[in-house]
Structure 1
């Protein structure tokens, strides 16, 4: 069994990754700003060397979509430097997003930059890109539902996937041997945001009207083209309807 460091280990994805790794018998160190044992802010890197000491695998889940991911590249730089100093890290597993190289969204650009930093780091690296989580789609609709009608971007399809399935895949990849860029992982079905929005509202007992909202800009055009979709890798099992039934 390995000693594995999970960044963002108290977050939505990281918590599930930690649980699955511990179920496999690994020693897992949970790193985040609010973690009781390894409270590290990757943006300044203090305390990171102590958390990294002796770790053989790093699963990098920490990320902040706010401000177009500003600071994620700085955090990755600190993580890479600490892994080099430790000298024991054989595999760094990174969770990325399908379409980071096709949709010119600020956050996606930062994720792509981090991918390239890891690939150029000289460390053993495994990169998994997935489509959006069911939870994110629900959050988008819930936020839009604060208005009298529910405006959702027109012409945008999504391929949501269960966060638990992604956590399981990351746990599988967190072995000592790096795999490079692995096959993308997409949800089981592609639906429009309007369709998913109506399903979410119906499941929560709200008969609200969903209004398609045309937007502008290159990022929106990229989403309309489907740059964030991976129909050939629809390997997820849990549908959005099943997610709603569970929640």
Structure 2
């Protein structure tokens, strides 16, 4: 346990999301005074809306650290970029001393509109005047499985077999966040991914085997710059440390 945790108040945006649901109990276990936020009021949480700014001043009051997870892929300019600006404009006069922003690995190497918005959001964090750390996390295991499920709705699993990813466990990312907020903001952009680089061909085959499915795999070369970048390994990294839980570990825990 971090000996300073008990005197540190941590605001977690996006606390009800996939990562937030793992981060909040992880930080509570570490001993932090965690203040989860949500757009809708709920017991023990703070209601704050990044899109309008409503409740942000109250949310950041007496906060030492912000773990900023909130994101809206469908409206990233309003929520991610402008919402982050509103959040940090409230946080600076409140005396927040560290903002940890969770971004996505490879967004500077893969041409995609949402990724550009994440880059723009990183720039907002960097220019905020608040000490910061940016953690670019790889795709979570459940997200990769969702992609495989989506591409197989009509029967066969349709994939670009040479797409390369380095999926990471949500729990590992929560652990990494706990490590990073235990020290002052470094002003760094840190990449973080799982222990293995895998092709979508490998992932589809092991996924089907784990589920006992006989569905065929249709292997296609997807067109476009985004697909080309992912084939080239643009969303993988040599950064260390990495997570410890593998794709096979995830499948074994679920099936």
TM-score by length of 1: 0.93
Which residue does the alignment assign to 1:65? Answer: 73
Residues 149-187 of structure 1: CA distance to partner in whole angstroms, max 9, x if unpaired?
111134211111101000111112123611221542121
> Which of 8, 23, 30 is residue 29 of structure 2 equivalent to?
23
Write the deviation string for residues 15-72 of structure 1: whole angstroms up to 9, x where unpaired: 2111111112111110122451212221111011111101010000111223566631
Partner of 1:238: 245
Instruction: Name the SS of the counterpart of 2:66 in structure 1.
Output: strand
The answer to whether the 8 Å contact 1:96/1:111 transfers is: yes
Q: Name the CA shift for 1:232/1:4 in 2 (closer, same or farther; >3 Å).
A: closer
Contact 1:185 1:235 in 2 (8 A): yes
The C-alpha deviation readout for 1:208-246, integer Å capped at 9, x for no partner, is 111123222222221122111103536221110111001
* Superposition CA RMSD, Å: 1.7
Within 5 Å, give how 1:52-201 maps onto structure 2.
52-66=60-74, 71-86=79-94, 88-175=95-182, 177-201=184-208
Mean alpha-carbon deviation: is it higher for 217-226 or for 123-132? 217-226
Q: Is the 8 A contact 1:70 1:110 kept in 2?
A: no
With normalisation by structure 2, the TM-score equals 0.91
In the alignment, structure 1 segments of 5+ residues that lack a partner are none
Q: Is the 8 A contact 1:32 1:62 kept in 2?
A: no
Q: 2-side partners of 1:182 and 1:221: how far apart?
A: 24
Cα distance, 1:74–1:182 mapped onto 2, change above 3 Å: closer
Does the 8 Å contact 2:140/2:169 carry over to 1? yes
Do the aligned partners of 1:187 and 1:234 also contact (CA within 8 Å) in 2?
Answer: no
Within 2, Cα distance between the matches of 1:7 and 1:211? 39
Partner Cα separation in structure 2 for residue 70 and residue 153 of structure 1: 32
- Number of equivalences: 246
Q: 1:11 Cα shift?
A: 1.1
Q: Does 1:213 align with 2:220?
A: yes
Unaligned residue ranges in structure 2 (runs of 5+): 1-6
Look up the match of 1:43.
51
